Amino acid sequence: MKLAVVLFNLGGPDSPDAVEPFLANLFSDPAVLTMPGFVRKPLARFIARKRAPIAREIYAKIGGRSPIVEETLLQAEALEKAIPEHQTRAFIAMRCWKPFTHEAAAAVAAFQPDHIVLLPLYPQFSTTTTGSSLKEWKRVAALAGITAPTTTICCYPDLGGFIAALAANIEDSAAEPRADVSYRLLLSAHGLPKRVIARGDPYQAQVEQTAAALKARLSWDDVSICYQSKVGPLEWIGPATDAEIRRAGAEGKGVVIAPIAFVSEHSETLVELDIEYAKLARESGVPDYRRVPTVGVRAEFIAGLAQLVRQSIDSVKNGKGAGKTCPLTAARCPRTGTA
């Protein structure tokens, strides 16, 4: 069987000149700025123009560009090899920069697959990430004339391979602790405005599912969930990662910080966690600060994704769907039909 697996992610600018249009694409998304298009689009351009100089400074710290495409290509290659029983091709669809979703759709159409599996590289579902990517795929796939049977994996917050990869990375990073330091494990995820969650977005509940699965697997007693990357004046879910780092410093705790909603390295890990929060930790009196890598192409994670793909295909063959994983109160979970 010719199998196409479409990997979705946000994307990132590939040069300093791409920063402003990348931001404009991000804030033009109605899932990010929920307002009429005639207001949203000019506002998105204004926000992008205002934030571009700061964003360019951020990307300058990691070579002027995001590494997310290269990281995702490695994941795609590894996933193809992990599903040898089919003629498997993995395609990359980025939401806000190249390769865009319509480019992925054109490549899939040219491949002429017998089956398509849509696989977001967001373990936890949010309307602002997975929801937006899948909506765009539906639009451009129709334009590309794609008619192959298609199944969708919407989320995998406690997938065994994902949790195993995270746990292994945490254990590696925490190895050889300082004898004079007591450590706190911070599980950091990208934040969202509280109003997004209040509308029924299941993201926060699924982040908590990931954290619960990790806690069950690890032997850590001192563990906190926190949220990073806040922008704008709205109230966001918390506690904030920077506040948790300050609290750890005030209590004399060492910090092992693990990104649990990102599966590849990019500015929010390489700059925010590695540079900005490391500096904050030193200034806050944290005696030892260690950052856990993202799962990347760890064998456990790739095997978990391959398992999801196989289960997705089997669910069609058997006439069954995957189970719902978010709380019934999360009205915008895609399995309710209201996302």
- CB under 8 Å, gap of 24 or more: what pairs does 169-177 form? 169/258, 169/292, 169/293, 169/294, 169/295, 169/298, 170/214, 170/218, 170/256, 170/258, 170/292, 171/218, 172/292, 173/256, 173/258, 173/290, 173/291, 173/292, 173/293, 174/256, 174/290, 177/254, 177/288
Query: In this predicted model, what pLDDT tens digit does every residue of 39-82 receive, in sequence order?
Result: 888 999 999 999 999 999 999 999 999 999 999 999 999 999 99
Choose one of 254, 269, 291: the last residue of a domain: 291
Residue 320 has pLDDT above 80, yes or no: no
142 and 180 belong to one structural domain: no
Which domain range does residue 213 map to?
A: 160-291
User: What integer pLDDT is reported at residue 119 of this predicted model?
Assistant: 98
The 10s digit of each residue's pLDDT in 86-131 is: 999 999 999 999 999 999 999 999 999 999 999 999 999 999 999 9
CATH at 76: 3.40.50.1400
DSSP character at residue 323: P
| pLDDT (0 to 100) of residue 124 | 98
Question: Are both 171 and 151 inside the same structural domain?
Answer: no
Together in a domain, 75 and 93:
yes
Label residue 323 by pLDDT band (50, 70, 90). very low
What is d(CA 319, CA 73) in angstroms, rounded to the nearest whole number?
Answer: 32
Q: What's the average model confidence in pLDDT over 174-185? A: 97
Check residue 232 and give its pLDDT.
82
Total domains in the fold of the chain? 2
Percentage of the chain lying above the pLDDT 90 cut: 87
**Same domain (yes/no): 214, 325:** no
Confidence of residue 315 (pLDDT cuts 50, 70, 90): confident
Confidence grade of residue 339 (pLDDT, cut at 50, 70, 90): very low
Residue 235 marked ligand-binding: no
- Per-residue model confidence as pLDDT tens digits over 216-252: 999 899 999 999 999 888 899 999 999 999 999 999 9
Torsion, CA 248, CA 254, CA 255, CA 256, rounded to 10: -160
Any idea which residue has 């602790």 for tokens? 177
Query: Is the model's pTM score more than 0.85?
Result: yes
DSSP-assigned beta bridge partners for residue 192: none
On whether both 105 and 205 belong to a single domain, the answer is no
* Average pLDDT score, the chain: 93
Rounded to an integer, the average pLDDT of 160-172 is 98
Looking at the fold, whether 224 and 262 belong to one and the same domain comes out as yes
Q: What percent of the chain has pLDDT over 70?
A: 93
Is the model more confident about 290 or about 34?
290
Same domain flag for 264 and 275: yes
- Tell me: the pLDDT tens digits for 254-272? 999 999 999 999 999 999 9
Tell me the mean pLDDT in the region 202-219. 97
Neighbour order of strands in the sheet with 115-120: 87-94, 2-9, 115-120, 150-152
Q: Is the pLDDT of residue 139 over 60?
A: yes
- Over 80: is that where the pLDDT of 4 sits? yes
pLDDT for 36: 78
Residue 38 to residue 44: CA distance in whole angstroms? 11
Band (275; pLDDT cuts 50, 70, 90): very high
Kindly state the average pLDDT of the residues 287-298: 98
Which pLDDT score, from 0 to 100, does residue 333 have? 65
Dist CA 164 CA 5 (whole Å): 23
Of the residues 273, 291, 309, which one is the last residue of a structural domain? 291
Q: Give Rg (Cα) of the chain.
A: 20
Is 190 annotated as a binding-site member? yes
Indicate if 170 and 250 belong to the same structural domain: yes
Residue with structure tokens 């506002």? 43
Q: Could you tell me if 22 and 105 lie in one domain? A: yes
Do 151 and 17 fall into the same domain? yes
Claim to verify: residue 153 and residue 117 sit in the same structural domain: yes
* Spatial separation of the C-alpha atoms in residues 210 and 193, rounded to whole Å: 20
Are 18 and 113 part of one and the same domain?
yes
